[in-house]
Chains A and B, each alone.
Chain A
Amino acid sequence: MTQTATQAPQAPRQAPAGTSSDAAAATQADISREIETISADYAARTSGLEETMPRRDYPPYRSSILRHPTKDLHHADPETIELFAPVFGHQDVDALEADLTIQHHGEPVGERIVVTGRVLDGDGRPVAHQLVEVWQANAAGRYIHKRDQHPAPIDPNFTGVGRCLTDAQGTYRFTTIKPGPYPWRNHHNAWRPAHIHFSLFGTDFTQRMITQMYFPGDPLFALDPIYQSILDPRARDRLVATYDHDVTQHEWSTGYRWDIVLTGSQRTWMEQETDA
């Protein structure tokens, strides 16, 4: 479904219409300037407090402009249902779903990797037996999604979707292929750093989150408004996995480690207080 086959090239090296940025008027220089301005304001803040989450209102990410709430979030004390989370079990997730490289007849193309780590709550307690979902582009930076028209090859041996349950220590482990960077239409010549999407549950509904894991040293970090929407460099770094040679396997795969910390569990505190 790419347009490359039928499209007459208008100029050498011209990107096909499906991925061109005609609708995106800004250049990378424009976006980078906006990122730098917001970043400088943050660095000059007097509070000294670290913002740990992305700004929802972050104009360099153009799609956020009409999709962020303009009013302050309203404080709620969690009530019963919010102090519990859905439960998933082995009837929900097959152990084989944690290996994204065995879902088809052949081996996918690319660098085989293992990504592993622990899901913890804010007090360092493991989130045990809970669902972790991942999805990602293939080694060429192409998603198996009808809306991804980026003219990079689809890999018939790679879908890029996985699931697992954490173990009693909160550990998850996926075998996959290192995703490639991919172009998007936020601005002209916009490229996302390589990433794996992670969907996570805690022990409380209020801990539900979706995020993206990145790879160390990606040259696109500084240019990417989604990554840069987290203003504090310490917070941004928490999305970057660490290369871990102890996870790397002899003549098989390289290894990355990435731990995930959810917001604190209110329910566990209440139970402890009751016990005390």
Chain B
Amino acid sequence: MSTRSTLPPTPGQTVGPFYGYALPYDGDSELVPPGHPGAIRLHGQVLDGNGDPVPDALLEIWQADSRGEVAQRPGSLHRDGFTFTGWGRASTDGAGTYSFTTLQPGPTEAEAAPFIAMTVFARGLLNRLFTRIYLPDHPALASDRLLCSVPADRRHTLVATAAPDGLRFDVRLQGEDETVFLTYPGHDG
């Protein structure tokens, strides 16, 4: 059966500069409260082709819980402190840095390395970008289907590095060490 769509998709457009009063909300980047057992900080910087920080980017993550289960529960916009919804949103600050508080995702498929799915929006970025954040030093990294399909010298751009309080993952929109961004079947760009 074909996966081609029958209706042409609506084009994307840039998030622009003025989402800051509309899309962020209290608790947006805290998938779990900072003191939660097992909480980690996922943080990093968004950089442009000159290596300069991007202070007006918006990142979203979507992930399984630590047992590898995909939450299908509401409550991301009004977090109750107990329900793990698996989804969060963070804006970059003036230094281009972002920070989430979340859990390490567990594996969702046998032999696949666990990852956090990320969407990137920014002023100047005309359509959203998708990428994946893999966990450092995971035994399944070496055999992961997607990672193995990426040229060896770019693979590291999809893998977070260990930081004292959790994980660091930088998003390089362009240039040397440009992050590997993903396209899925049915996407035209």
Instruction: Report which A residues bind B (CB closer than 8 A).
Output: 50-56, 58, 61, 63-71, 73-82, 84-93, 120-124, 131, 133-135, 137, 143-148, 159-161, 163, 197, 199, 205-206, 208-212, 226-227, 229-230, 234-236, 238-239, 259-264, 266, 269, 272-273, 276
With the chains together, A152 CA to B30 CA distance in Å? Answer: 36
**A210–B173 contact, CB under 8 A?**
no
Q: Is the interface of B mostly helix, strand, loop or mixed?
A: loop
Closest residue on chain B to residue A63 by CB atoms: B124
A148 touching B18 in the complex, CB below 8 Å, given contacts A69-B129, A88-B74: yes
Closest residue on chain B to residue A137 by CB atoms: B18
Q: A67-B49, A86-B87 are in contact. List 18 more A-B contacts (CB 8 A).
A: A56-B127, A68-B126, A73-B189, A74-B149, A75-B182, A76-B182, A77-B184, A82-B117, A93-B77, A124-B6, A143-B21, A145-B17, A146-B20, A206-B130, A210-B128, A212-B16, A261-B9, A262-B10
With the chains together, A86 CA to B15 CA distance in Å? Answer: 20
Task: Tell me whether B95 is interfacial, beta carbon within 8 Å.
Answer: no
B11: contacting residue among A64, A131, A235, CB under 8 A: A235
Least Cβ–Cβ distance between B4 and chain A, in angstroms: 7
Instruction: Report which B residues bind A (CB closer than 8 A).
Output: 1, 3-23, 48-50, 52, 54, 60, 62-64, 70-78, 85-87, 105, 108-109, 112, 115, 117, 119, 121-130, 132, 145-146, 149-150, 154, 173-175, 178-189
- What are the residues of chain A within 8 A of B175 when measuring CB–CB? 70
**A89–B126 contact, CB under 8 A?**
no
B21: contacting residue among A54, A93, A145, CB under 8 A: A145
With the chains together, A161 CA to B25 CA distance in Å? Answer: 12
With the chains together, A239 CA to B184 CA distance in Å? Answer: 22
B124: contacting residue among A66, A86, A134, A145, CB under 8 A: A66
**B11–A79 contact, CB under 8 A?**
no
**A135–B11 contact, CB under 8 A?**
no
Q: List 30 A-B contacts (CB under 8 A).
A: A54-B12, A55-B189, A71-B154, A73-B182, A74-B150, A75-B183, A75-B184, A76-B184, A78-B185, A81-B63, A82-B184, A88-B76, A89-B74, A93-B77, A122-B5, A135-B21, A137-B18, A147-B18, A159-B21, A205-B62, A208-B60, A210-B15, A230-B11, A235-B11, A261-B5, A263-B188, A264-B186, A266-B3, A266-B186, A269-B3
